[in-house]
């Protein structure tokens, strides 16, 4: 996984940039706002998300880790892929998207090209619990974000548990009212859960 890039900006377009790192130019798809903040020839640093498909590897870049986390969380909604997730962040910054979901503001969500009323309803339904209240700190809670849970599942599999056992333990711990808020705490709680089985 390529989590971030730092290098010289070799090219910038409306929604993409090429960042040269160690002599290799990485094409990164961005929101127009992120692309506009980059300066040709200057050092650029972006939080990134690598999307792997059968026929392609596509890198998406963001001004902050919170924006990248929102991009990854939005893709957990049925029918939303990376292009639509990037379109959502092009129209709505993470805080506005969180507020729209928390307040069931379908009108704001349908401003995103490709999102109709039914799509907006599905986004609210599937993201409400993952994003938390609108006044929460930037970035989804690690215990409710897919990225945070996946990190813990991956660590447990690395320690020898099966994917199913690891996933069941993480989901069980995360579903509790007093669920831990940090990845390390969630990992410890999941280990206790697995140890008690």
Q: pLDDT tens for residues 15-24?
A: 899 999 999 9
Q: pLDDT tens for residues 28-71?
A: 999 988 998 899 999 999 999 999 999 999 999 999 999 999 99
87, 102: one domain: yes
Closest CA to 75 of 62, 91, 89, 65: 89
Band of pLDDT at residue 75, cut at 50, 70 and 90: very high
Q: What CATH number does the domain containing 16 carry?
A: 2.40.50.140
**Residue 139 forms part of a structural domain:** no
Q: What CATH number does the domain containing 101 carry?
A: 1.10.150.20
* pLDDT > 90? residue 121: yes
Band of pLDDT at residue 141, cut at 50, 70 and 90: very low
Q: What is the mean pLDDT of the chain?
A: 84
Beta strands 24-29 and 43-53: pairing type? unpaired
* pLDDT > 90? residue 159: no
The per-residue pLDDT for 137 is 41
95, 120: one domain: yes
Question: Which residue range forms the structural domain that includes residue 178?
Answer: 146-195
Q: Which has more pLDDT, 183 or 180? A: 183
**Residue 140 forms part of a structural domain:** no
Tokens 């090219």 locate to 11
Closest CA to 79 of 122, 121, 108: 122
Backbone phi and psi for residue 95, each to the nearest 5 degrees, phi listed first: -65, -40
Q: What CATH number does the domain containing 157 carry?
A: 1.10.8
How far apart are alpha carbons 50 and 39 in whole angstroms?
23
The per-residue pLDDT for 186 is 75
How far apart are alpha carbons 156 and 39 in whole angstroms?
42
Number of domains in the chain: 3
How far apart are alpha carbons 162 and 165 in whole angstroms?
5
How far apart are alpha carbons 99 and 37 in whole angstroms?
24
CB 62 within 8 A of CB 33: no
């Amino acid at each position: 996984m390529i989590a971030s890039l730092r290098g010289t900006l070799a090219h910038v377009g409306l929604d993409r940039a090429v960042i040269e790192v160690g002599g290799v130019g990485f094409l990164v798809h961005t929101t127009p706002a992120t692309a506009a903040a980059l300066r040709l020839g200057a050092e650029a640093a972006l939080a990134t998300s690598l999307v792997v498909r059968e026929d392609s590897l596509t890198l998406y870049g963001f001004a902050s880790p919170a924006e990248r986390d929102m991009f990854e969380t939005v893709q957990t909604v049925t029918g939303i892929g990376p292009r639509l997730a990037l379109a959502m962040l092009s129209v709505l910054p993470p805080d506005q998207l969180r507020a729209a979901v928390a307040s069931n503001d379908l009108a704001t969500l349908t401003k995103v090209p490709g999102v109709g009323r039914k799509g907006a309803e599905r986004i609210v339904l599937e993201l409400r619990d993952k994003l938390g209240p609108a006044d929460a700190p930037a970035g989804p809670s690690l215990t409710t974000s897919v990225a945070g849970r996946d990190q813990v599942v991956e660590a447990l599999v690395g320690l020898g548990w099966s994917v199913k056992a690891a996933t069941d333990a993480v989901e069980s711990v995360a579903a509790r009212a007093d669920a831990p808020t940090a990845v390390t705490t969630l990992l410890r709680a999941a280990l206790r859960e697995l140890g008690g089985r």
